[in-house]
């Protein structure tokens, strides 16, 4: 998704359309009824913090130690329900449940992709990546190959190490486009250019 200020994006989804706008500063706003209860939720990304509200009630707020770059509302896992897909920067690759081979927490500050579902007034995790090999600059969710299923189309950059554990996007490195397909539990690479 482009990062130009003042541009209006229309995300066409299986069950309707969702309006997303990019304003001055760092703000992104979208609306949609992801839990299909007939009440529209407001999705607001302001200064890298994402909130989900229904009327006056805040249903979800991203953790303080996340730096969210962007999000989209669309059916990325092709199950007929709209997901909230976010790209973020945070420390560590695992939460409280770590693989048996990991004896200490990974403290690297890198880029991640998380997929959520909205159900019963709560945001539920569908899939959350470990730190990515290449950081996401932008992404769209669309039927890339005309097969009737959505793919995740990503512009990827490269990391630049700031210090021992912190990384950022290397703005001078080449960018590549990759296309990812949902395959039951996560994404598999379909195309890279």
Is position 3 within any domain?
no
Is position 60 within any domain?
yes
Q: What residue numbers bound the domain in which 23 lies?
A: 8-192
pLDDT tens-place string over residues 61-76: 999 999 999 999 999 9
Q: How confident is the model at residue 108 (pLDDT cuts 50, 70, 90)?
A: confident
Report residue 72 CA to chain centroid gap.
6
Q: Is the per-residue pLDDT at 6 higher than 70? A: no
Q: How confident is the model at residue 92 (pLDDT cuts 50, 70, 90)?
A: confident
Total number of domains constituting the chain: 1
Is position 1 within any domain?
no
pLDDT tens-place string over residues 17-26: 343 444 445 7
Mean per-residue pLDDT for 74-93?
Answer: 93
């Amino acid at each position: 998704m482009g990062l130009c200020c003042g541009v209006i994006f229309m995300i066409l989804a299986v069950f309707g359309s969702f309006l997303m706008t990019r304003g001055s500063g760092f703000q992104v706003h979208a609306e949609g009824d992801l839990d299909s209860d007939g009440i529209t939720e407001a999705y607001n990304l302001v200064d890298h913090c994402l909130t989900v509200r229904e009327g006056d009630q805040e249903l979800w707020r991203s953790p303080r130690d996340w730096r969210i770059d962007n999000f989209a509302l669309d059916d990325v896992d092709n199950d007929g329900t709209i997901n909230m897909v976010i790209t973020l920067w945070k420390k560590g690759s695992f939460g409280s449940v770590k693989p048996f081979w990991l004896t200490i927490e990974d403290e690297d500050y890198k880029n991640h992709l998380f997929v959520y579902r909205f159900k019963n007034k709560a945001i539920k995790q569908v899939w959350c990546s470990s730190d990515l090999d290449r950081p996401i600059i932008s992404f769209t969710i669309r039927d890339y190959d005309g097969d009737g299923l959505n793919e995740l189309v990503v512009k990827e950059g490269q990391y630049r190490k700031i210090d021992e554990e912190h990384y950022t996007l290397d703005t001078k490195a080449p960018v590549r486009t990759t296309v990812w397909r949902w395959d039951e539990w996560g994404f598999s690479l379909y195309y890279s250019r």
